[in-house]
Amino acid sequence: MDSVRKGNELAITIPQKWDKCTVDDIFKEKWKTPKKMLHELRMSKNVKVDGQEIPWNLPLLTGQSLSFPAFESKLPASIIPADLEIDIIYEDDFLLIANKPSGLETHPSTAGHTNTLLNAVAYYLTQSGQQGYIKHIHRLDKDTTGAVLFAKAKLVGSMLDKMLEEREIKRTYAALVEGIIAQPQGTINEKIGRDRHHATRRRVSPGGQSAITHYKAVHTFPKENMTLITCQLESGRTHQIRVHLSHIGHPLMGDILYGGPSKFKRQALHALKIEFIHPITEEPIEVAAPFLDNPSIFPSQILEG
């Protein structure tokens, strides 16, 4: 889809497939805009077609330009930029993907907390002259590395949230687990709940939240007694991969919390790849996150092959 940012406004050229759609149709049906945001856009009187304010129920024609305020002019006051070393592995006007190193939380858990990926991304944006909105769409554990998706506009954030909820954002993880997995691929469908005996642990529990993990064995290492696997999730529960793999007797290498051997300084889990259809441009996005450990704990040549 043909779109362009003009200052704090987004301009969309109406495509053939939206011919005869109304402004109301686009925001409500196409983009699933939240009610509060929809109300704010209506009240702003700044939603225009070919530069003119028109009724929201007037059919639009292919080639017309729909423009509206979509971007913020400054960061939220609650987000304090922090100069931390991170890599941005994909970026456009609407979103970005950062490669999270080990040792960083994804976002602050308390006021004034700045040693997080969100604060680092905020610093990157300010340094590149982008004083705008930023929001993480999903999270990774503190010691898990890899791709994390951020929205750079409220509307895009709400669209990505919906896509994540409806499983339209595909995330692939690499993991090294203890033992040789007998089945080359499988699915773990076990509910996950809190462990009442441990503040930070989760456990498989009949009364927990539904959680489904698909895994595929990539390579075995008999001498080291471990298997390299990839995982994909149908849900996003806290510690899901760690809990599920421990439950089937193959905890992550380095994951002491869930019974894994202390071979590495952290659990051997990396968010390797993220794939989705861009919510605005509708282009397919596929981004791979390079391994960050030095020396690497993952055999990258095998995954690349």
Asked if the model's pLDDT at residue 303 lies above 80, the reply is: no
Residue 134 in any domain: the answer is: yes
- Final residue of a structural domain among 166, 186, 213: 166
Mean pLDDT of 196-211: 91
The structure tokens 């929205």 sit at 151
Model confidence at 131, pLDDT cuts 50, 70, 90, reads: confident
Is 137 found in the same domain as 198?
no
Residue 38's domain comprises 3-69
Distance CA 280, CA 48 (A): 18
- Active-site residues, by number, are 141
Residue 125 maps to a domain = yes
Domain check: are 63 and 93 in the same one?
Answer: no
Distance CA 178, CA 221 (A): 10
Mean pLDDT of 14-21: 96
Q: Any alpha helices (H) in 46-188, and if so which ranges?
A: 117-127, 154-165
The answer on 77 and 61 residing in a single domain is no
Is it true that the peptide bond before 101 is cis, omega within 30 degrees of 0? no
CATH of residue 63's domain is 3.10.290.10
- When divided into structural domains, the chain yields a total of 3
Report the candidate in 70, 207, 48 with the shortest Cα–Cα distance to residue 133.
70
pLDDT digits (tens, 9 = 90+) for 136-192: 999 999 999 999 999 999 999 999 999 999 999 999 999 999 999 988 999 999 999
Out of 44, 69, 94, pick the residue that ends a domain. Answer: 69
Determine what percent of the chain is predicted with pLDDT higher than 70: 98
What does the block give as tokens for 270?
């990396």
The tens digit of pLDDT for each residue in 252-301 reads: 999 999 999 999 999 999 999 999 999 999 999 999 999 999 888 998 65
Q: Are residues 150 and 184 in the same domain?
A: no
CATH code, domain carrying 262: 3.30.2350.10
| Residue 90 confidence (pLDDT) above 70 | yes
